[in-house]
Structure 1
Amino acid sequence: MNGYSLFEHTLQNILRSVNPLEEDWSMRFQLIHELRAVVESIEILRGGCRKLQFITNARVPILKFQGNYNISCDISINNLSGQMKSKILYWINMIDGRFRDMVLLVKEWAKAHNVNDSKTGTLNSYSLSLLVVFHFQTCVPAILPPLKEIYPGNMVDDLTGVRASAEKFIEETCAMNINRLMSNKSRAINKSSLSELFISFIVKFCDISSRASAQAISPFTGQWEDIASNLRWLPKTYTIFVEDPFEQPINSARGVSSKQLTRIEDAFRRTHFVLISSNQNENEVISTLVRPYVSKFVTRTPGNQNNYSRNGLRPQLQTQRAMKPPLQAQHQLQVQRAIYSHQLQDKKMNRNQNSTAQGPAQAIRVQTQAVWRPKSDRGV
């Protein structure tokens, strides 16, 4: 097994460890059900919740706490823009399932290096997700388009008037554009493996600290943008600018401090060194990518305590075939397809029999020919 194959195998084992299992989802939904039952009285929350903390200085005030089953929770009220951002990221995953896998891996890597906590001046989870979006946009060939091609306006500005109408308009616009993208037969397909994508992600941001002084990361346009050329960004100075593609010109990484950005770049550099080192072993790689308690659940390859390969792991993009999703991911996709098909049938049955109009978001066909519609109650 060569270096890339073994690293791919290691990443798949990590994914199986960090992917929520069926019982994990059950516990989360049970906790949400319990919260709904007591949310009328904040005092009742004190009975079953720990580490209550009310964050008043956030753009959207939130209540943080640790609930039953040791699940950390953030509660915000009437945060429609946050819900819609999560939905769009979830829909984007339907373009390419590697997006969700990369987000899971990158978030775990960031937690392992203590650079995924906005309270301490590092990157929040949303900005990390946008970094993955940006990486997929700037691969060759690109995996994701500039997000302006999925939703061309400023999404938050369009959340006005009747909520149901505003949501429907956004869903239909995104569905129509994703459908057009997926049906484009001339679109170049990126077949990079997950290991290649992860390594190139680390390489891409190894100079993030020095580059951030002059350029912003714009998932909306899908490219680096010169800060000096954008008048909307100039009034405020930030250590790093990761523009929110759905709420321009807001900086999703505005809480990152200069000291912590140096640490973030150092985390990228140290990880890159480990991955290309010629003498690393599997345990060292795992300890670089995940937190100690997670590493206990990652399956090791029997007998592989020596080098990954004599030449190490060096970026050789576009050289391997696209990976086959693990069994768990295949099962999740089958469940999603069943849900979407069931919802579509329900909507067809409830539709006026005399109506022949078909909205642009009636269905989206992904490459597997499964029918997809935007789902209204999930995030990525």
Structure 2
Amino acid sequence: MIERVHSYDLLKTCIEDILSTIKPVEDDRKKRLSAIQELADTTHSVEALRDAAVKPFGSFVSSLYAKSGALDISIDLCNASSLPIRKKKKNNALRALMRALQIKGVARHMNFIPSARVPIIQYMSNHFGISCDISVNNYAGQIKSRIFYWINIMDERFGDMVLLVKEWAKAQNINDPKNGTLNSYSLCLLVIFHFQQCEPAILPPLKEIYDWNGAEEIVFYDENHVDEVCVANISRFLRQNMGQRNESSLSCLFAQFFRKFLNIWSFSSKVISTYTGRFEQIQDNPSWMAKSYNLYVEDPFERPDNAARTVGADEFGRIVRAFNFVNHMFTAGSLTDRDELLSLLCTHPVGSILGATRANRYTQPSLQLYSPVAANLYDDQHHQQATSSNGSRSSPQGYATEFQTARPDKCHKQPQAHNAEWVTPGQYYPLPCRAGFQRAVPLQYHDHTSSSTTGRQSVGPYRNQQRRWEYSPYQHAGTTRYEHAGGRWFHNGSTWNYASQSSYNAAWES
């Protein structure tokens, strides 16, 4: 257990300051919407892409993005058949789009990676300064981001924890999958696993939210179907756990997160499984034993894929030292200086904004870390050429091309902090649902002229009517309203919109 943290008050103040600096504001959201519209205009100027839909996904859709985060967008090509679109066609579409972006002069630092597992264009928007990762028919990414959106709504501490953990990982130079460390998707999974392991649990096993395995290529995606299943299952979980809600403060949960993965070096025989919500033994599943990894964090939606598969041996050592050092600082009661705490938990640019003037000083050689990366959060660092052998890359949000993760350790019982503040978890307004968990079974659509191909999945019912949708971070085909603390999402017929609680009675807006 955590012996003590001398000042949870100081930790609380520091993480509140960090969050106030990295969390997006309305202007950041509007810039991303404008960047999406800019891409949509460019896409539809290409004859071959005139009917394509431009769909944001990733951390923007799940509301887990930071101010400096990249924007993930899928160009969904019309596909009247049930056959998946070949990689060659996707690459041709991306090449055509890249030429159009060059002609219009809306992008700089363009980087095309056709050999990646998911082909991708990376660029920086000239007009809005937004880093963009563009793929084609990335339905798996869209489904994952919608599920993460609903997980985020379940408890307001989850989104804050994800942002804090990613910021810490960047500061310790262990959030760079191109160079063998963790991508942001795997960090999100570690936070989910931590919340599943708390007592009482904050989150259920992900199989109880949306039981789906996207190992087969998806040919259609019905967002409405995903939402309905998630809403029904989350509603049931919240009803069943009413009266036993975990009330640990964010600062307490943050400290416990590092304690949980203190012995991450010993996870060689274990799998961190957010699908089951517990550590699993590698030898219990032949598919897990097919390859040897330094760290195994199972992708709950593409099992048995390892979200942390690119973690290298040397880089894993760096990850271990990062967890060990922050635990040493927390348990030794060394966190009595604001500057030192900020330099441990946030990047140099964020620390500079907050007035931190001193870098970390590591006094124990056995715990020494690499110096925190001083790269500017707002530069073009995400557009360097990918160096991995398969050309894969993961954006800061971890939804672009690869989905990586890390391995499990012994389950530590979570202690209650001696002065944990009262935190009111994010409220959730569930819709009526049927009793019992709904299993998210991909549905095949059969029309009268063609039959679906065996082994190809269509998530949700698909109507064989191609329509060009106007973009929105929360598109929907239905008219159902979903609400969460601080504001409400609603559907106006073509887009999802948001109204803060203060302005809710005045207008419905996005």
The equivalent position to 1:58 in structure 2, one of 116, 134, 139, is 116
Q: Tell me if structure 2 keeps the 8 A contact 1:121–1:255.
A: yes
Q: Secondary structure at the match of 1:296?
A: helix
Picking from 174, 177, 180, the partner of 2:233 is: 177
Paired residue for 1:221?
A: 276
| 1:123/1:279 CA distance change after superposition, 3 Å | closer
**Partner SS for 1:238:** coil
CA contact (8 A) 2:110 2:123 kept: yes
For 1:119, the equivalent position in structure 2 comes to 178
Stretches of structure 2 that go unaligned for 5 or more consecutive residues are 1-5, 47-96, 357-413, 430-474, 498-510
* TM-superposed deviation, 1:377: 7.2
Equivalent position to 1:286, from 342, 352, 359:
342
Instruction: Say which SS state the counterpart of residue 354 (structure 2) adopts.
Output: coil
AA aligned opposite 1:231: P
Report if aligned partners of 1:191, 1:318 keep a CA contact under 8 Å in 2: no
User: Which residue does 1:317 correspond to in 2?
Assistant: 416
CA distance, structure 2, for counterparts of residue 370 and residue 176 of structure 1: 20
Residues in 2 aligned to 1:94 and 1:109: alpha-carbon distance in whole angstroms: 23
The superposition leaves residues 291-317 of structure 1 with CA deviations (integer Å, 9 ceiling, x where unpaired) of 1111122378xxxxxxxxxxxxxx852
TM-score normalised according to structure 1 size: 0.78
What amino acid is aligned across from residue 118 of structure 2 in structure 1?
A: V
**2:296 equivalent in structure 1:** 241
State whether structure 2 residue 106 is matched by structure 1 residue 48: yes
Give the SS at the match of 1:323.
coil
Aligned partner of residue 151 in structure 1, secondary structure = coil
Report 1:12-91 matches (<5 A).
12-39=16-43, 40=46, 41-46=97-102, 47-68=105-126, 69-91=128-150
For structure 1, which segment, 32-41 or 252-261, has the greater mean C-alpha deviation from structure 2 after superposition? 32-41
Task: Please say if residues 196 and 316 of structure 1, whose CA atoms lie closer than 8 Å, have aligned partners that are also in contact.
Answer: no
Q: CA–CA distance in 2 between the matches of 1:183 and 1:293?
A: 43
Matched-pair contact (CA < 8 Å) for 1:81–1:156? no
Q: Is the 8 A contact 1:179 1:365 kept in 2?
A: no
2:422 is paired with a residue whose SS is: coil
Note the aligned Cα RMSD (angstroms): 3.2
Residue of structure 2 in register with 1:338 after alignment = none
Indicate how the Cα distance of structure 1 residues 117 and 198 shifts in structure 2: closer, same or farther if over 3 A, else same: same
Superposed CA deviations along residues 3-59 of structure 1, whole A, max 9, x for unmatched, are 112211211111111101111111121112111222334123233322222223432
TM superposition shift of 1:74? 1.0
Distance in 2 separating the partners of 1:80 and 1:377 = 19
Structure 1: which 5+ runs fail to align?
Answer: 301-314, 335-342, 349-361
Q: Residue 236 of structure 1 aligns to which amino acid in structure 2?
A: K
Alignment of 1:1-380 (within 5 A): 3-39=7-43, 40=46, 41-46=97-102, 47-68=105-126, 69-155=128-214, 157=216, 159=218, 163-164=221-222, 167-186=223-242, 188-211=244-267, 213-280=268-335, 281-298=337-354, 316-317=415-416, 319=418, 320-323=420-423
CA contact (8 A) 2:147 2:226 kept: no
Distance 1:55 1:317, change over 3 A: farther
Distance 1:240 1:82 in 2: 22
The SS at the match of 1:183 is: helix
CA distance in 2, matches of 1:269, 1:107: 17
Does the 8 A contact of 2:489 with 2:496 survive in 1?
no
CA distance in 1, matches of 2:187, 2:160: 13
Q: CA deviation at 1:171?
A: 2.3
Decide whether aligned partners of structure 1 residues 78 and 9 sit closer, same or farther in structure 2, where only a CA change above 3 A counts: same
Q: Which amino acid aligns with 1:98?
A: R
Residues 190 and 318 of structure 1 are in contact (CA less than 8 Å); yes or no, is this contact kept in structure 2? no
Give the distance between the partners of 1:124 and 1:201, measured in 2 at CA: 17
- CA change 1:373–1:37 in 2 (3 A) is closer
d(CA) in 2 for partners of 1:114, 1:84: 29
Distance 2:496 2:216 in 1: 21
- 1:3 is aligned with what amino acid? S
How far apart in 1 are the matches of 2:495 and 2:280? 32
Asked if 2 retains the 8 angstrom alpha-carbon contact of 1:178 and 1:364, the reply is: no
Q: How has the CA–CA distance of structure 1 residues 322 and 230 changed in structure 2, closer, same or farther, with 3 Å as cutoff?
A: farther
- Cα gap change, 1:275/1:177 in structure 2, threshold over 3 Å: closer, same or farther? same
Deviations for 1:189-220, whole angstroms, at most 9, x for unmatched residues? 11111111111111111221222x11011000
Q: Is the 8 A contact 1:206 1:268 kept in 2?
A: yes
Paired letter, 2:326 = T
Aligned residues: 331
- Conserved? CA contact 2:196–2:203, under 8 Å: yes
Residue 123 of structure 2 aligns to a residue in which SS? Answer: strand
Q: Residues 275 and 285 of structure 1 are in contact (CA less than 8 Å); yes or no, is this contact kept in structure 2? A: no
Normalized against structure 2, the TM-score is what? 0.59
Distance in 2, matches of 1:144 and 1:81, equals 22
Runs of 4+ in 1 over 6 A off after TM superposition: 363-366, 368-378
Distance 1:54 1:369, change over 3 A: closer
Distance 2:184 2:496 in 1: 19
1:307: which partner in 2? Answer: none
Alpha-carbon offset, residue 370 of structure 1: 8.6
Change (3 A) 1:108 1:293: same
Q: 2: distance between equivalents of 1:322 and 1:92?
A: 21
Q: Deviations over 1:121-171 (max 9, x none)?
A: 1111111111110110011111101001111232565945x533xx43332
Residue 108 (structure 1) shift:
0.7
Q: Deviations over 1:311-353 (max 9, x none)?
A: xxxx85254243358xxx99xx99xxxxxxxx99x966xxxxx
